[in-house]
């Protein structure tokens, strides 16, 4: 936090376990960077970090928990999703139309609830082979 101005508060993230997967106490650099940047931008924010497995269903369950929080869960104003699948991932090609529809509906639920969802636009989508299925989740403004 010294690099961001020196007088910033060091965040204490809230760990949220999904599908029985909890914080193993080992972090990668990207997670630390995401937490650091988010807490530097919004000093008083509660930073919740969700832990889950790597299957499509685990990811859907995590999104459900974020967008439809249960009693005692953090209630988000912004979701920053820093996760992606690539060609080497075991489940990269396993997305069904039903799963894409479920994710799309969850993002629509977030929008209806006033929750901003930020997702990186890396090159992973090029490897999924499902570009046409992703388009419904990306809403373009009406040019009219």
Tens digit of pLDDT for each residue in 104-139? 899 999 999 999 988 776 544 444 444 433 333 333
CATH label of the domain that carries residue 9: 3.40.50.200
Q: What does each C-alpha distance from 91 to 71, 94, 140 come to in angstroms? A: 31, 5, 28
- Is residue 90 in some structural domain? yes
pLDDT for 84 equals 58
- Is residue 22 in some structural domain? yes
Q: Which domain holds residue 84?
A: 2-137
Would the pLDDT of 45 be above 90? no
| pLDDT grade for 83, boundaries at 50, 70 and 90 | low
Compute the half-sphere exposure of residue 55: CA atoms within 13 Å on the CB side of its CA.
Answer: 7
Interval 70-86 mean pLDDT: 82
CA 90 to chain centre: 19
How many folded domains does the chain comprise?
1
Contact between residue 91 and residue 85 where contact means Cβ atoms under 8 Å apart:
yes
pLDDT for 143 equals 42
Using the Cα atoms of residue 115, residue 116, residue 119 and residue 121 in order, give the sign of their dihedral. positive
- 14 versus 125: the higher-pLDDT residue is 14
Contact between residue 80 and residue 38 where contact means Cβ atoms under 8 Å apart:
yes
- Is residue 142 in some structural domain? no
- Is residue 144 in some structural domain? no
pLDDT for 140 equals 36
Contact between residue 64 and residue 58 where contact means Cβ atoms under 8 Å apart:
no
CB burial of residue 118 (10 Å; 0-12, 13-18, 19+): exposed
The token pair at 49 is 């970090």
- Is residue 58 in some structural domain? yes
pLDDT for 133 equals 39
pLDDT for 115 equals 94
Would the pLDDT of 93 be above 70? no
Considering the chain, what is the average pLDDT of its residues?
76
The token pair at 34 is 């995401």
Would the pLDDT of 86 be above 60? no
Strand partners, 78: 116
- 29 versus 83: the higher-pLDDT residue is 29
- Is residue 143 in some structural domain? no
- Is residue 65 in some structural domain? yes
């Amino acid at each position: 936090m010294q690099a961001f101005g020196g007088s910033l508060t060091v965040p204490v993230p809230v760990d949220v376990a999904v599908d029985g997967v909890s914080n193993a106490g080992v972090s990668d650099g990207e997670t630390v960077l995401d937490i650091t940047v988010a807490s530097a931008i919004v000093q008083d924010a509660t930073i919740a970090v969700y832990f889950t497995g790597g299957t499509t269903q685990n990811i859907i369950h995590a999104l459900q928990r974020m967008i439809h929080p249960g009693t005692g869960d953090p209630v988000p104003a912004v979701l920053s999703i820093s996760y992606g699948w690539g060609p080497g991932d075991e489940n990269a090609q396993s997305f069904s139309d039903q799963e894409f529809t479920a994710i799309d509906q969850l993002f629509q639920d977030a929008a209806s609830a006033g929750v901003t969802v930020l997702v990186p636009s890396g090159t992973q989508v090029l490897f999924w082979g499902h570009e046409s299925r992703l388009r419904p989740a990306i809403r373009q403004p009406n040019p009219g």
